[in-house]
Amino acid sequence: MTGRGDPPEGTPEGVPGGGEDEYRSVVFDESFVRAARLQEFSAQERMDDHSRAVRARHAWARAGASRQAVVLVLLIAFAFAAAVYMGVRHPYQAPEPQAVEPLRSSVVPLSPVGEVPGGRPAELFRESPAVQFRAGAEGVTLPAVRRTQGFSESQVMTALTTAKDYVVKSTLDPGVLTGGPVQAVRLLLDPAQQIQFDQSFEHPVDDGRHAATGWLTRFNPAEVTLADAPVRVRGTLTVVERTPSTLEVSADHVFVYAIQRAHERAPDHASLYTVRRETRFRFDRGDLRDHRVELVHSSVLAGPQACAANASGYLRPLLAGESVRNDSPMGTDPYAPGRTPVSLCGVLSPSSQPTSP
């Protein structure tokens, strides 16, 4: 270096004062060396590398650790803020789940015109509109699966297969149909509906909320048994995105059962009993994750059955050879306290019955 001047931090101690000292311009203290923009390589570095004898000192090295610490804190703060923002604004964040509605159901008996036809199950099916129906669970078919705006294709498929599982267990399982345990059906329900389900079987009431037959199909084993023939089924499943947080599956199926009197073994004394069941299921994201359903509506038409029969606990078919006269639903007293029974009844069209085998 050439020229006269003072070090950055003043004249070093121990050096004679006065501007006339010929060595004053070449005496440097430690602060002057640290402030230098160039730094000489060590002897070993010069032997290992034949590049320039000096290297530039970066600003970070001169600034010290304090500036690095400040920048590190800023980076951490920025990363934390970005994480919070993405958590709040994430486009796939699940909305808050909606409250689970109680089941609303109706069970309408269909009274026959004339005597209920009887015969062997195969002959009865062949002479009935159910001749083209599929057997058992094969009749509960799934539609083409497509994603919706808020739900993936796999989520739509989960909703459909879970709804089908409920339909099969509640209307085709032989143990459930003959008054056996219903735990397999109960476990498919959202836990918020299981209390209502339990009440419907402990104290079934025709009030649109607590009919056991609103949840599933079953016959009183003391009165009815299944004939040796598979249930015939035909129907549809459809799915729509009801809200950004819920899918809704509608099931509409006709089930035709070959039945006979309990403990009767004569194969030619069977009759057909038809149940049209329309159900609506709702699924939030928790239901899809846990493979469970919310059964929000069930509508049942069932016959041949007398209008006066109480079908809240069991469906009560009329069997081969039986008939009813002047059949009408029980009267409803608007002055009676307590729950009002839902007393509805229809007429079973003769064309829905088998012709004479």
By C-alpha distance, which of 65, 354, 61 is closest to 232?
Answer: 354
* Residue found under tokens 């400040």: 70
pLDDT of residue 234: 97
Q: CB of 231 within 8 A of CB of 135?
A: yes
Amino acid code (one letter) for 85 = Y
- Fill in the DSSP letter of residue 119: B
| Coarse DSSP helix, strand, coil percentages of the chain, rounded to the nearest 5 percent | 30, 20, 45
Predicted confidence band of residue 60 (pLDDT cuts 50, 70, 90): very low
Q: What is the tens place of the pLDDT at every residue in 225-283?
A: 999 999 999 999 999 999 999 999 999 999 999 999 998 877 789 999 999 999 999 99
Cβ neighbors of 96 (< 8 A, separation 6 or more) are 245
- For the entire predicted model, the pTM comes to 0.72
Q: CB of 229 within 8 A of CB of 135?
A: no
Predicted confidence band of residue 38 (pLDDT cuts 50, 70, 90): low
Q: What is the tens place of the pLDDT at every residue in 184-228?
A: 999 999 999 999 999 999 999 999 999 999 999 999 999 999 999
* Residue found under tokens 């057997």: 135
Predicted confidence band of residue 344 (pLDDT cuts 50, 70, 90): confident
Q: What is the tens place of the pLDDT at every residue in 110-120?
A: 999 899 999 99
